[in-house]
Amino acid sequence: MERMLKILHYPDPRLAEVSVPVTKFDQKLHKLLDEMTETMYVADGIGLAAPQVDERIRVFIIDLGDQEGQPKKKWEFINPKLSNGEGKIVFEEGCLSVPGLTEEVTRKERVTLNYQDRFGKARKLEAEGLLAVAIQHENDHLDGIVFVDRLSPIKRRLAKRKLAKQVTL
Ligand code: Y12
Ligand code: CO
């Protein structure tokens, strides 16, 4: 059992910072990835980015759980670079850093992601649908963007008021 990491909550200013690339694919990185995985599972999330656990590096993980017949798979993305976005998809997003709020966000339907695995090996993934949404949501965290920032000004204001009123544990 790995250690549970503390998840920062919006609007913590640390969530608004831009993260730096990973240069060492060592034991320390592997430990963080394992602890992030445990934290995501315990919190019942489907994605988690390193800055959400106060580590400003370009790392995120995704596990969508069982998806229509496809077996469960945990993805680890390090130093991701998004390209070739196509189409539009609207999805009701939530975030472990924004408990108690879900809102519809428009993203690209298909994306290509170049990234490295935990050993530094270069990899490429063509994703669509929910996986593409999750990748864009998590990649935003690496640039200091939370889904609330992607809402229209009116919806964002309402969302912020709702969050400010709510008591978080
Ligand atoms: C699609 C959209 C967003 C992502 C990013 C990863 N998001 C999550 O892991 C969301 C977790 C989440 C958890 C919630 O709390 C519970 O279910 C107990 C939740 O519910 C409320 O806050 C009311 C919402 C989201 C990936 C793919
Ligand atoms: Co998030």
Is residue 5 situated within a structural domain? no
Is residue 8 situated within a structural domain? no
pTM attached to this predicted model: 0.96
| pLDDT, tens digit only, all 169 positions of the chain | 778 999 999 999 999 999 999 999 999 999 999 999 999 999 999 999 999 999 999 999 999 998 888 889 999 999 999 998 999 999 999 999 999 999 999 999 999 999 999 999 999 999 999 999 999 999 999 999 999 999 999 999 999 999 999 876 6
CA distances from 134 to 49, 105, 161, 165 (A): 11, 11, 25, 27
Domain limits for position 48? 13-168
Helices (H), 54-152: 129-142
Is residue 4 situated within a structural domain? no
If one counts the domains in the chain, the total is 1
CATH of the domain at 56: 3.90.45.10
Protein residue whose Cα sits closest to atom 3 of ligand 1: 93
Protein residue whose Cα sits closest to atom 17 of ligand 1: 44
Cβ of 29 less than 6 Å from ligand 1: no
Query: What pLDDT does residue 2 have?
Result: 77
CA neighbor of 51 nearest in space, from 121, 141, 118, 140: 141
Q: Which ligand is nearest to the CA of 46?
A: 1
Distance from Cα 46 to the centre of ligand 1, integer Å: 7
Structure tokens at 33: 């990835």
Query: What pLDDT does residue 168 have?
Result: 67
